[in-house]
Structure 1
């Protein structure tokens, strides 16, 4: 079976809902998507000093990311080599050692095993400690302070992987001279991780209906949000997708940076870096952590100027959190929809019902306002981003290269 049989974006424009429920597909995702792709871990502002660390996830694998004495970054599987216990149970901190709470095996900040209780009596001087260091994440790279990790030693460089997503990230990450990430706030939700990633990649269409009550509370016309003829979606063959919107069409809590994008008159509204790293132009950053076919953990950060005073920081965080947080007025709408989709589409009949991805079908095009890149554009009422997302997803499940042969250059700003 080819996993590309689950999608039909060439002739009909449909998606098989089995992609949300199959345990076999989920296990395949962990092996071919999350174990091969560049995954967002943290921001360098959370690793300012030697010994600083954060714990993160790469798919379902827990990792520790730490700042080394030489200023470099390393990441390790957060699993003790002795019996498989979690080594570090804190979200972040500063330490020179990570000690397992089960049997006391201790590792230094570089991941090396340095202390084993009763080593002489228990192992009779025969324990090869260097051979039992923490498993290291082989690839760690940064982009404008964003820290990414990758398990695949043959993966392309991060900049090459991001490609067309870079110019969509740049306006947000260069808005201030120095930035800081606050968070993450974490919570668990019923719903496949792809439901959230797809929405942030492509779905401006849901706003008028799903967020109608929130728009009333904010006195915002969500029906006009991005629906003018100038706004556009971008879909990349690498699976990245996002939207550029006229700023006046966005509520204040979602407006993008006053920094040039590939179309200077527009601002980044939302995007998803394949597979599961999303952002809003307001300075909200998200990772949709997979937790089985029917669950996800949402990790959410807010970006602020590093030199902002306490009052400014509070206002910026509050502005974003009003809309998107555990009790955000847009967040609760989205969460309810994702959870309900997961619940009602799991039945025997529902799982056989093709889902409609025909919006804008056949109308993808090149936009003369932006340079050529490895994808197409479409109006906001278009499923282009979702189609590119799922096409890349299926290609990776089928074992295709992480970066396919592309016909053109990456998008530039």
Structure 2
């Protein structure tokens, strides 16, 4: 499907409003993307026509809801190239997916003296669960350093690998800097030592083609709300043979085969990891979001976003006082920066006064900010519905702010 930028923008109701008397320019896509009308319509139609619990009902509404819910699981399988839909687990988000692996795979297979490797680029959700596990188990957490441009030092990673390495958990694309990690190379190196690999795909899945079989990752976690879908919904992919060896995450309904006071037997995957009534409406409403991406095509989306990032660098780099943070060669459409002598929050507020929505702060990557010796950054992140004229608006705003400070 080929659509003009105006046609694409027309699919997103939220974009057509003013903020502080200015047209909204939404550059906070790394935090959450906006939702096309098809997603909103599907959410409403479920509650108006099909609202029912799934899997256990014998009536028509339950049957319709169940079929639509499981259709999304299959759609996700196709989207990431998994071998079978049973390897697709619905969670609350990337954070819960990572915690699920930590609390099941980690508790069973990682012990005292074992090692887990992450990188300096990680989001807190891919740091804290491993710290908690290491504290509980007596395992060791090791960190891959990065260069001044925000790229991992692969040779240093290779030096960290050993027979003690049980898991490498690494971000595919950095939410704070946009850096795309060489994950296939990382996975191959980790597997050579018998380690499993979890990819944090929260940022990469909306920008890059994903094929989990080609990557050969053991786990991948990501979130619907960064893929034009609803909030409160995530996906954890795992290889069948590993998921079957892992204990359940939560106990309750749906994740069981049979319960007695003497013993409980657990359900097959993926249901073993989906206790209780799931987030039915948001799962069903996720399909139009995935269809939107598939119809546009990831290559077309990436080409447009790459063009926006290149244009933003072209306009912003010459501005006196503009300080880019993270200049990796391979990036998704994230531009982090500071203005000399100004706090990121102040810059964000001044841009908001012009109707421009950006994210400011440490972006849940405090160790990464410490690596660069800063408190935080201003982050402008671009999506398929953003335009070059909006980039020009951002550049004009940054230029005015920098001029005020550097008078």
TM-score > 0.5 by shorter chain: no
TM-score tier by shorter-chain length is under 0.3
Answer 1 or 2: which has greater strand percent. 1
The TM-score normalised by the length of structure 2 is: 0.27
Answer 1 or 2: which has greater helix percent. 2
